[in-house]
Structure 1
Amino acid sequence: MRRVIVDCAVYRDGHREDCPADFSGALGQARAAGDAFLWIGLHEPTEEEFARVAGEFRLHPLAVEDALKAHQRPKLEVYDDSLFLVLKPVRYTERDSTVTTGELMVFVGDSFVVTVRHGEANPLRTVRDQLEHAPEVLRQGPTAVMYAVSDAVVDHYLEVAEALHTDLETLEAEVFSPERGPGGRTARRIYAFKRQVLEFRRATGPLAEPMARLAGAGVPFVHAGSQPFFRDVGDHLTRTNEQVDGLDRLMSDVLAAHLAQTGVRQNDDMRKISAWAAMVAVPTMIAGVYGMNFAHMPELGQVWGYPVAVGLMAGIVLGLYRFFKRRGWL
């Protein structure tokens, strides 16, 4: 069991104390003290490993099932004995410009917090360190942890949005560059970028409703003094969602511009091909006529017949070339 417990501590009057092995005893003491709570952090527990924690804290079976299976959308569920918040922290890999999402479940109840993490994206270590240096925040109880975790996740959203915007500017420059590479490679990059934006949107978009509920009144286990903090998180999330919407619109514009440029380039290529085909067709036609080998054909017996035919071919081709050049087809 200890291998899945990333950290465990009792916080009394905003200060950390060692976590005893007996969770139920520590929880009872925290509730009796009135100014303490227990925070347990787990990483990808199995059903058997999580069963003890779920039993000690009387977590709802549906929430336990969601925490174990993961692959949940951001949401807030209210149960009799706890709140259940699902967050999707994101990680941006600059090397290949990809966004990967993890999952972070937060259970908050009477004098306890249980966090369950899936994936590599992990803001919890930083959050715990920051909170332990801010006892005035920890004194608000388990709600402070839920706020701090949400704030860390959403603030990182803003950083990822900025990184994606930088990548989009690079992609725009490539699309509109006169010396860009093959169109197929650019199109693949655009669609790959759209997939990253979509993955990011799945993490940020659904979280707006839970943050609005936490910022309002009437949600159990939420300290009244923490509502302004959740409103601040909601404001940051709104900025993030606006940036994601802007990225999506810009990507659609970039894709439309790329397709338009591809169409224009194809038309240019077709005009060039048609022009060269016309210039080749004229001498081919003349040579074909005089290659039919009929006995009685004009100029066959003339000494000047061959140079006149060749000159006629060259003159017509030169005239067509100059005509197509003036029209911009070549």
Structure 2
Amino acid sequence: MIKVNVHTDATGLQNDLPLNRISDTLHRSDSLLWVDLIAPTPDELRLVGQEFAFHPLAMEDAARRHQRPKLDHYDGFLLLVFYGLQTENGRPRTREVTLFAGKNYLVTVHDGSLPEIPETADRWCQNVANLGNRGVGLLVYSLLDALVDGYFPCIDELADRVEELETAIFKPGEAGEQAAIFALKKDLLAIRRVLGPERDVMNVLVRRDAPVFGVDGASVVVYFQDVYDHILRVTDAVDTYRDLLSSALDAHLSMTSFRLNEVVRRLTASSIILMSITLIAGIYGMNFEHMPELSWTFGYPFALGLMTAVAGALVVLFRRIHWL
């Protein structure tokens, strides 16, 4: 599906413009276009690529998903690959967005729905008349800022899960913490893999004056600095939670080893007590004819009492050394 929004000084904002009318406004100096391709077919991608004369390598990047976040400079436009973050079935999922930013247009390509894009489109439609020659730069900033801000709710959910796991590992009888920790570390690693390149992309936008955003591009850099700061915050949070999970995993393994040692000690103490009783029973169970206790009236109670006394003494001893 293709959505085309166009603003010109003469006609104002026009929504859902037909694709075949893009050429009429693309070359006007007062026009500003946003073309949004949602799960486009190969034919739709080809038509848009021909309309804007995009480089074949750029179109190849847009057609192939799971690209690394990057910023490529082409003749007349920038190619930007960025990622949003959504929670799906309790797990964070990255969502790829490809941006073509030209002098007076922005083309976005993505699979499925991203709530940040229609929200940004609504804000743009309300303020497009006031953007002036910074229109594309501010539009790119608004979209990237919305995508990065979408990371924070997911990161907060992950933080809650980390806290729950930290509490669970110290509760006896809990099972499955190790698998949960590894799954959460995998989720954080997937987020970290896109944050690193995205930080590099924003570093380029902040430190270099991009003429594709117009003669007033220097003032747009200030806005990109805000996005850059947000990415740093998310990156620091992800790194912190990864460290906490590593510490939690170490603590979990230590607690598991400690509990195992506790069980082994108790079993060892119980075995020693039973072995002592068995030793006494074995002595009196031997088929010897001349044993004084056999003809003694209190021989049987004496044997039972001896077993009880030895067992009791061992129990007291093991409790003093905290084996029971």
TM over 0.5: yes
The root-mean-square deviation of aligned C-alpha atoms, in Å, is: 2.2
Unaligned runs of 5+ in 1: none
- Per-residue deviation at 1:156? 1.3
Q: TM-score, normalised by structure 2?
A: 0.90
Task: For structure 2, list consecutive stretches of 5 or more residues without a partner in the other structure.
Answer: none
Percent of counterpart pairs with the same letter? 34
**2:37 aligned with 1:42:** yes
Partner of 1:208: 199
**Structure 1 CA distance for aligned equivalents of residues 149 and 132 of structure 2:** 20
Name which of 133, 138, 145 aligns with 1:144: 138
Which residue of structure 2 lines up, in the alignment, with residue 16 of structure 1? 13
Q: Distance in 2 between matches of 1:118 and 1:160?
A: 20
Amino acid in structure 2 at the alignment position of 1:9: N
1:65 maps to 2:56: no
Deviation sequence 1:241-288 (CA, Å, 0-9, x none): 111111111111111112211111111111111111111111112222
Deviation, structure 1 residue 83: 1.0
SS in 2 for 1:9: strand
Question: Which residue identity lines up with residue 88 of structure 1 in the other structure?
Answer: Y
SS in 2 for 1:105: strand
Residue in structure 2 matching 1:313, options 294, 307, 320? 307
Distance apart, 1:203 and its partner CA: 2.9
Report whether the alignment pairs 1:118 with 2:111. yes
Contact 2:38 2:113 in 1 (8 A): no
Q: Is 2:269 the counterpart of 1:278?
A: no
Q: How many residues align?
A: 319
Q: Matched residues in 1 for 2:231 and 2:44: separation?
A: 34
Q: Distance in 1 between matches of 2:111 and 2:193?
A: 16
Distance in 2, matches of 1:198 and 1:242, equals 13
Residue 102 of structure 1 and its aligned partner are, at CA, apart by 1.2
Cα distance in 2 for partners of 1:18, 1:44 equals 19
Identify the residue that residue 210 of structure 2 maps to in structure 1. Answer: 219
Q: Distance in 2 between matches of 1:112 and 1:222?
A: 10
Q: Could you say which residue in structure 2 is the equivalent of 1:253?
A: 247
Q: 1:17 to 1:300 in 2, by over 3 A?
A: same
Q: 1:55 pairs with 50, 54, 58, which one?
A: 50
Aligned partners of 1:122, 1:200: CA distance in 2, in Å? Answer: 19
Offset at residue 138 of structure 1 (A): 6.4
| Structure 2 equivalent of residue 98 of structure 1 | 91
Residue 62 of structure 1 deviates from its aligned partner by 2.1
Distance in 1 separating the partners of 2:132 and 2:318: 78
Deviations 1:56-90 (A, max 9, x none): 11222222222222111211111223211111111
Measure how far apart 1:212 and its partner are.
0.9
Report the CA distance between 1:296 and its aligned residue.
Answer: 4.6
1:156 corresponds to which of 125, 150, 153 = 150
**Following TM superposition, by how much is the alpha carbon of 1:292 offset from its aligned partner in structure 2, in angstroms?**
3.5
